[in-house]
Amino acid sequence: MTSSAQTILSARTTLDFATCDRARLARDKTFDGRFVTAVKTTRIYCRPTCPAGPALSKNVTFYATPAEAEAAGFRACKRCRPS
């Protein structure tokens, strides 16, 4: 895979990487449920509003749904329970 893996995989959303990254760093509630943040270093995925400290942008990728993150091998965060 190339860096194109950093785009949202689902047709359900048109959010791009920069939009998702801004939303999670701001813990913007209006994005809750619109995507999940998957952290490649921990194999965990989170809601945009997760209270845990945000991971570095270079270590994250975004999915439109928890199911897609699960399918990619990530597990739900125990703090924000994004499923």
Site residues (vs Zn ion, CB under 5 A): 46, 50, 52, 77, 79-80
The candidate with the shortest Cα–Cα distance to 35, out of 15, 52, 51, is 15
- Let me know if 46 is a catalytic residue: yes
- Angle of CA points 36, 39, 40, to nearest 5°: 130
H-run or E-run covering 38: strand 36-39
Q: How far is the CB of 50 from Zn ion (least distance, A)?
A: 3
CB nearer to Zn ion: pick between 8 and 37: 37
Q: How far is the CB of 40 from Zn ion (least distance, A)?
A: 15
Tell me the two tokens of residue 11: 């047709």
Give the span between the Cα atoms of 37 and 45, in whole angstroms.
5
Q: How far is the CB of 20 from Zn ion (least distance, A)?
A: 14
CB nearer to Zn ion: pick between 12 and 79: 79
Return the active site residues: 46
